[in-house]
Structure 1
Amino acid sequence: MTSAMAAVPTTIDEVTAPWLAAATDMAVTDVRAERIAEETGFSANLYRLHLTGSESGPDTLIVKLPADSLARGGMEMLGGYHREVQFYRTIAPVAPISTPRCHAARTCGQDFVLVLEDLRDWDNADHLAGLTLERAQTCITALAGLHAWSATADQAMLAQFPGIDNAMTRDLFLPAFGAGWQLYREHADRPVPAAVAHFAEHFADTAAPALSALAERNMLLHGDIRADNMFFRGDALKLVDFQLTVRGAGAADIAYLVSQGLPTAARRGLDEQLVRDYTGQVPGYRFDEAWRHYRLATALLLYMPVVALLTWDAAPERSRRLCLTLIDRAVAAIADIGALEEFS
C-alpha cells in the first residue's frame, strides 16, 4: 500500500485526492488543504479541504489529524483520539444529538483521521466571549437528549468510553492542579473568596470525593462542552470535539457548560432554574440529585482550565486569556451557588 493510499494518513500531505476518493467514495480529482483554527484546536490539527471533481458532493470538507505539539502526547495518554473516532462511528449515527456528518473515521495505532462536514456556514461560538443565555439553553436541551438516551442505550456501546472517575484524572490532573493554581494567582487580577482559595490550595485531596459522586450515574457525557465546540445556525446546534467523552452524572456536563461557558453576569442567579429545566428533560433524574451533582462538578471541573494553564509558556495569548477568564467564571460560580457545602 502506498503512502497516498494509506488507511490512516499521518500528515496532511498524505490526504490526497486518491486517498479521499477511496475513503469517502466521492469523485475527487484534486485537493487543496488550508490550516484552520490554529489558536483553538490545541489537541488536534484541523484543515479545510477544497475539493475539485465532485459535481454532487460538497466543495469543502474538514480533516482532523493528531496535533504535532505536546498536546498529542496528552491526547494519546487519555485515549482521546480513539474516543472521538468511536463516538463518530458508533454513537453519532444513533444518538439524538446533532454533529457534523462524518465521511470517514479511522485509527491505526496512535494515528487517527476524521473527515467531517464543513460547518463554515454556521456560527462558531466564542468561548472567550461566552455564550448567551439562549444559546446555553439550546445546548442544555441537546445534552439532555444525549443523557436521557444513554440511560437506556446498549451498555456495551457506552463501555467504550471511560468513566468520569478514572485513574488518569485522579493520578495526573488533580495532582497537577497546584502548579496551575499558582500560575493563576500570579497572573489573575481578581480576588478569590477565602473559602474558594482554601479549597483550591488543598484541591488534590479535597476535590477527589466529587469524582466518586459523579460516577453514581452512567450517562454518556460530551465531556468538553465548550462554546468553541458549538456551531449554531438559527435555532439549530451542532456539537463537535468528542475526545473527552466520558460516562457519569449528566449534571457534570451542565455544570461545565454553565459555570465556565456563560459570562458571570449572564449566569448569576440562574443556576438552579437551568438545572430544573435540564432535569425536566431527563426522566428519572431528580432535581435534588442533579443539583448536588451540579455543585460538585462546578467545583471539581475548575481543574480543567487550571491544569491547562501549565502550557502558559508555549500557549498563544488568546489561550492564556481564555484560561484566566474561565477560572474567573468558575471561581465566581463556586461561591455563588455554595458549591463547597457539598464537600463538608
Structure 2
Amino acid sequence: MTSTAVPVSGAVPGSIDEVTANWLSEALGADVTRVRAERIAEDTGFSAALYRIHLSGSDDVPETLIVKLPAESLARGGMEMLGGYRRELYFYQHVAPSAPIATPHCYVARMTGSDFVLVLEDLRNWENADHLAGLSLPRAQLCIEQLAGLHTWSAGVDEAVLQEFPCIDCSLTRDLFLPAFAPGWQLYRDHTRRPVPGAVAAFAERFADLAPTALAALSERNTLLHGDIRADNMFFRGGELKVVDFQLSVRGAGAADVAYLVSQGLPAEVRRGHDEELLREYVGQVTGYSFEDAWRHYRLAVALLMYMPVVALLTWDAAPERSRQLCLTLIDRAVAAIEDIDALEEFS
C-alpha cells in the first residue's frame, strides 16, 4: 500500500454510502472490516464532496483516509464540462508518481462515466493553510519551489502526457469565463467596501475584449500548471508542503501559477514590494525562461486571473458567508496587485 502505482480499474462508488468495507478491501488490497465516514471541507470544497473515513482492519489498513467524490451540487455539471475530474485522475495516475511536487499519496483513482473516486492520504496532522488569512512570504517561497519543480519536470515529459491537459487559452475559457466576468464584476462593485482605481475599473469594463491578449501570451510556453494554486490547497508541516486539487491543471507559462499564488494568495501588505523578488527566485529555479519574459507573463496573469474569484462571485446567493468574503478579499488583493506592479501597461 506504499507503492506509487495507482489502482485505476474496478467499481466506482456512486455515493459515500457505497464506500463500504468490502469495496475498500478490494480497492486497497487489504482487509478492511469497518468504515465510518464524515463530511469535511463543506465551506471550501464546492467542486467535489470530501469525506474523512475512519477504518478498522488488518495492520496495513490506515486509520483514516480521504475520499473525494463528485460534487452533489450544480458544480458537478460545471466540473464535468471542464473535464476537471478526468484531469485530476490523470494527474494522480501519470504525473504525481514522478513529478517533483509533493502531493498526498493516492491509493485509488478511478472513473466510470460521470462517476469518479479518489482515495488519498489523510493530511490531518498537517496544517491546512487559510486562503482568507493568506500566506506568509516563507510559505509562498516554499510553494514557488514546488511549482518550479513541476514546471521544470513538465518540460522534459512525453508530449502525450501534457496533451491530456487543456491549454490555458482554450475555447472554454474564452466562451464561458470571459463573458461571465461582467456580471461577476458588478457583484463585486455592489459588495466591496474598497475603492477601485480608475484604470483598473476601466480595464474591468473592457475585460472580455482585453483578456485574450493575456491568454495568447500565456500560451507561449507549454508548461504543466497547477492552475488553482491557492492557500486552501496547501498543507504544511514544518518546512514541508503538500499540494492538492488538480482539477484545473492546464498548460501555459509557468509565471501564471506564480502570479496567481502571489497576487491572490498573499495579503497585499505582505506581497507589496516583493513581486519581482519572488519571480526572480522562481526564474532562478527553472531553465530557459528569462526574467523579462516571465515578468511580462506575470503582469498579464495578475490582471487576467482576477477572473477566477470574480466569476466565482456568481454563486453569491447560494454561497456561505465565508466564501463570499473570500471572493471579495481575493479580488481586493488582485486589484491592489494590478495597480502596484502596473500590470495594465502590458495591455497598452
TM-score grouping bracket, smaller chain normalisation: over 0.9
CA displacement 1:160-216 (0-9 Å, x = unmatched): 110100000000000000000000000000000000000001100111111010000
Q: CA deviation at 1:6?
A: 6.7
Instruction: Decide whether the 8 Å contact of 2:10 with 2:110 is kept in 1.
Output: no
1:250 equivalent to 2:220? Answer no
Corresponding residue to 1:169 among 164, 168, 173: 173
- 8 Å contact 1:254–1:294 — kept in the other structure? yes
**Secondary structure at 1:69 match in 2:** coil
Q: Which residue of 2 aligns with 1:342?
A: 346
Deviations along 1:76-133, whole A, 9 cap, x unmatched? 1100000000000000001111100000000111110000000000000000000011
CA RMSD of aligned residues (A): 0.9
- 1:134 and 2:138 correspond: yes
Q: 1:30 aligns with which of 21, 30, 34?
A: 34
Counting only pairs closer than 5 Å after superposition, residues 100-139 of structure 1 correspond to structure 2 as 100-139=104-143
Distance 2:133 2:61 in 1: 34
2:169 counterpart SS class: coil
Q: TM-score, normalised by structure 2?
A: 0.97
1:44 aligns with 2:48: yes
Q: 1:99 & 1:80 partners in 2: Cα distance? A: 17
Partner of 1:178: 182
Structure 2: distance between partners of 1:26 and 1:92: 23
What count of residue pairs does the alignment treat as equivalent?
340
Aligned partner of 1:82 among 72, 83, 86: 86
Pick from 270, 289, 292 the counterpart of residue 288 of structure 1: 292
Aligned to 1:238: 242
- Consecutive aligned runs of 4 or more in structure 1 exceeding 4 Å deviation: none
Alignment partner of 1:278 is 2:282: yes
Q: Distance in 1 between matches of 2:213 and 2:113?
A: 34
Deviation at residue 58 of structure 1 after TM alignment:
1.2
What amino acid is the match of 2:70?
A: P
**Paired residues of 1:28 and 1:51 also in contact (CA < 8 A):** yes
Contact kept in structure 1, 2:32 and 2:61, CA below 8 Å: no
Equivalent residue for 1:214, pick from 214, 218, 232:
218
Rounded to whole Å, the distance in 1 between the matches of 2:338 and 2:58 is 52
Q: 2: distance between equivalents of 1:275 and 1:173?
A: 27
Match for residue 6 of structure 2? none
Q: Deviations over 1:208-258 (max 9, x none)?
A: 111010000000000000100000000000000000000000000000000
Matches within 5 A, 1:322-337: 322-337=326-341
> Residue in 2 aligned with 1:226?
230
Q: Which residue of 2 aligns with 1:190?
A: 194
Task: Please tell me whether the aligned partners of residues 235 and 242 of structure 2 are also in contact (alpha carbons under 8 angstroms).
Answer: yes
Are the aligned partners of 2:135 and 2:265 in contact in 1 as well (CA < 8 Å)? yes
* Residue equivalent to 2:265: 261
Task: Answer whether contact 1:6 1:19 (CA < 8 A) is retained.
Answer: no
Query: Helix, strand or coil: the match of 1:29?
Result: strand
Tell me the distance in 1 between the aligned counterparts of 2:151 and 2:30.
Answer: 34
**SS of aligned partner of 1:48:** strand
The reply on whether 1:149 has 2:168 as its aligned counterpart is no
For 1:182 and 1:175, locate their aligned partners in 2 and report how far apart those are by CA, in whole Å.
Answer: 13
Query: Percent identity over the alignment?
Result: 74
| SS of equivalent to 1:96 | coil
